[in-house]
Structures are given as structure tokens and as C-alpha cells.
């Protein structure tokens, strides 16, 4: 496990927010962070924003699904390495537990839309989300 994820766990304890991710997300993050060196810091900046505004604010945050217990949000993550372009992050915010689960990360230049099948599977596995 990399040092980055150890640091993320430290943040969980300090702010009472829980950040988790799907294994597919971890692979995507690792692959993209090798290509875009500023991604680690950009992602930490995103988590700082999410601690204050869990579903974000403004044009860079779009709620793509919501129910009483969970909201799925698509974020345009500004990546300094991309110089004006952005990476998309899909995450779930669980209202009752203040928990975040990262579902998908992709560069818009390589992939046009989110993996809707993965999102559907996540919602099906989470009992009571619908």
C-alpha cells in the first residue's frame, strides 16, 4: 500500500469523514497518477472541499443520482498537469454515515462518459440505497 493511502486514512480520523474507494477506482487512480504527476495533490485538494461541501458546489459538481441515503456526484477535477483540462471523478456520498466511496476516475480525452454499468452495480450491491 502506498504512502498516499496511509495519509488518506490519517485524514479520516481527524475530520470524522470516511473516504473509501472501489478496487477499480484504485487501479484507475494509480494509472492516471503515473501520467499526471500533480494528481495526488489535486485529489487531496478535492477531499478538502468535500469535507466542507459533501456534494460540492458550482458547475464542476453534478449530482447524477440521489435517494434518501446516497447521492452520486460527478466532479470535474482540475488537474494542474493537464493545463486547463480536467479529470472526472464519480463518487457516492452516504448521508447517514458521512462516508464517501470513490467509484470511477477517468480523463475526458480518453473516455467520453462514465461507466454506467459500474454505477448500477454499486447501487445494486448497496442494500437500501434506492
Pairwise CA distance, residues 123 & 105, whole Å: 17
Non-local (6+) Cβ contacts of 32 within 8 A are 39, 87, 105, 106, 107
pLDDT at 10: 37
Domain 3-125 = CATH 3.30.2310.20: yes
Q: Which residue has the cell 454499468?
A: 117
pTM for the model stands at 0.82
pLDDT digits (tens), the chain, 130 positions: 333 333 333 334 344 578 999 999 999 999 999 999 999 999 999 999 999 999 999 999 999 999 999 999 999 998 999 887 889 999 999 998 999 999 999 998 788 889 999 999 999 887 445 4
- Residue 56 neighbours by CB distance under 10 Å: 20
Amino acid at each position: 500500500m502506498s504512502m498516499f493511502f496511509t495519509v488518506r486514512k490519517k485524514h479520516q480520523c481527524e475530520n470524522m469523514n470516511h473516504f473509501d474507494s472501489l478496487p477499480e477506482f484504485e487501479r484507475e487512480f494509480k494509472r492516471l497518477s503515473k501520467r499526471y504527476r500533480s494528481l495526488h495533490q489535486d485529489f487531496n485538494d478535492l477531499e478538502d472541499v468535500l469535507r466542507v461541501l459533501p456534494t460540492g458546489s458550482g458547475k464542476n459538481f453534478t449530482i447524477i443520482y440521489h435517494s434518501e441515503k446516497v447521492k452520486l456526484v460527478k466532479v470535474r477535477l482540475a488537474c494542474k498537469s493537464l493545463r486547463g483540462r480536467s479529470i472526472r471523478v464519480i463518487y457516492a456520498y452516504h448521508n447517514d454515515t458521512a462516508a464517501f466511496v470513490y467509484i470511477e476516475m477517468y480523463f475526458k480525452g480518453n473516455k467520453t462518459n462514465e461507466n454506467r454499468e459500474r454505477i448500477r452495480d454499486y447501487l445494486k450491491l448497496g442494500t437500501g440505497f434506492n
